[in-house]
Amino acid sequence: MDPRPWLPDLTGPPRRLVEALRLGGPATRAQLVEQTGLSRATVSGYVSDLVGRGLVSPADAQPTGGRPAGLVRLTRRAGVVVGVDVGRTHVRVAVADLSHEVVGEHVVSLAVADLAADAALDAVAARVCAELERVGATSADVAGMVVGLPTPLVGGAATAEATVAQSNILPTWSGSAPALELRRRLAVPVIADNDANLGALAEVRWGAGRGSRFTVYLKMATGVGGALVLDGHLLRGVGGTAGEIGHVSLDPAGALCRCGNRGCLELTAGGGALLDAIRTAAPQYGDLRSLVAGAVDGDQACRRLVADAGTSVGLVLGGLVNTLNPDRIVVGGELGAAGDLLVDPLRRALVQSAIPAAAERLAVVPGSLGGRAEALGALAVALREADRLA
């Protein structure tokens, strides 16, 4: 049941206006006329009615004067959405109102990969409750929640029923339905998706992928994940694994990968592989964040590892670029924080492995949203799917 008791009462033009504001954020009445196809008089009349009901209010002007006069927005009474990014070692929770303003965000370190699924989900639910309380909301205010996981999901992309595939990243989660479990714990509508998919949507909507028609997103962290976004929509493939370039085999006789194949790109360019390689030369770098910081600060061993990772990824991307002909590649994840130290060698290798016609109109850029990308992507999906989630 939808926790917003006022929603069933909204039909026809009022419902269309609320949906337009939820999907597009604050808008002028003229913009609402364009978005809904309603007449100016109809829009003005029903906006006034929604203001009287406390669901819509004038958007506050910014101190800089950056927000145009006449904008209206949905109020907190209309509800909030929650985005959750569950990583191997962290949980990030973000809360936004339905006018697209992030009102709360917090990240905690948590050894998710070392916990049983039930214990990890209990911890995630507790973090969501804590963040809702911090922003003055309750589960009854939540119009929808999306959780991102660093593992493939099967049984329905971005749905409540999606289950974790056989996973070496989160081994105790294999076969679980995290969205259903979180819905049971929190009594809010929840769907689950792969974290790289959510990061891709966030970068395309708000970050380094803005203005792109066809973006390839790379999440370079402990592993190497990816996602494809065409005209604002994810290309998932029939099994939901489209964009997973980390498991392209570079050497069929190489080392065994966690996916069961040999010589995968992830074994060369993934953060786990880089940390294994740095232990002898510079054991002080015990995690990926410190390794990237070392590269940025000029440590030559760290820089070489980051550059080699970029080169390996660029060589693999050449085939993808030849096949799909995207206009932008956005590099995110913890390794993406190395910026041009990673991206420059990736560009050079890609130019060598892709045909000129595909490479010449392609931009390769670092992500701009950093560690927030996945949680912000989850908010974007929750805002778009709020009515379907209910």
* CATH number of the domain to which 385 belongs: 3.30.420.40
Give the pLDDT mean for 54-78. Answer: 73
Residues 361 and 378 both lie in one domain: no
DSSP 76: G
User: In the structure, what pLDDT confidence band is assigned to residue 60 with cuts at 50, 70 and 90?
Assistant: low
Domain residues for the domain of 88 are 79-197+373-389
Confidence band (pLDDT; 50, 70, 90) for 172?
Answer: confident
Residue 66 pLDDT more than 70?
Answer: no
For the cut 70, the answer to whether the pLDDT of residue 63 exceeds it is: no
121, part of any domain: yes
> What confidence score (pLDDT) does residue 302 get?
95
Largest CA distance in the chain: 72
Summarize the confidence of residues 323-351 as an average pLDDT: 96
Residues 364 and 216 in one domain: yes
Is 100 part of any domain?
yes
Residue 387: what pLDDT? 67
The answer to whether residue 261 is domain-embedded is: yes
What lies within 8 Å, CB to CB, of 201 at 6+ separation is: 227, 229, 234, 377, 380, 381
More confident residue, 301 or 60: 301
- What does pLDDT average to over the chain? 90
Which range among 64-68, 99-103, 160-164 has the greatest average pLDDT? 99-103
Identify whether residues 353 and 223 lie together within a single domain: yes
Q: How far apart are the first and last CA of the chain?
A: 6
345-356 mean pLDDT: 96
Question: Percentage of the chain surpassing pLDDT 70?
Answer: 94
Is residue 64's pLDDT more than 60? no
**What's the total number of domains in the chain?**
3
Q: Does residue 129 belong to any structural domain of this protein?
A: yes
Q: Is the pLDDT of residue 241 over 90?
A: no
Q: What is the helix (H) or strand (E) element at residue 322, kind and residue range?
A: helix 300-324
Residue 351 shares a structural domain with residue 286: yes
Residue 312 confidence (pLDDT): 96
Question: Is the residue at 202 inside a domain?
Answer: no
Q: Do 161 and 114 fall into the same domain? A: yes
DSSP letter string, 223-289: SEEEEEEETTEE---TTS-TT-GGG-BS-TTSPBPTTS-BSBTHHHHSHHHHHHHHHHH-TT--SHH
Residue 203 is assigned to a structural domain of this protein: no
Does residue 214 sit in the same domain as residue 322? yes
The first and second tokens of residue 361, run together, are 């109109």
Give the pLDDT of residue 10.
75
Q: How many CB atoms lie within 10 A of CB 160?
A: 16
Which pLDDT score is estimated for 156? 63
Asked whether residue 359 is domain-assigned, the answer is yes
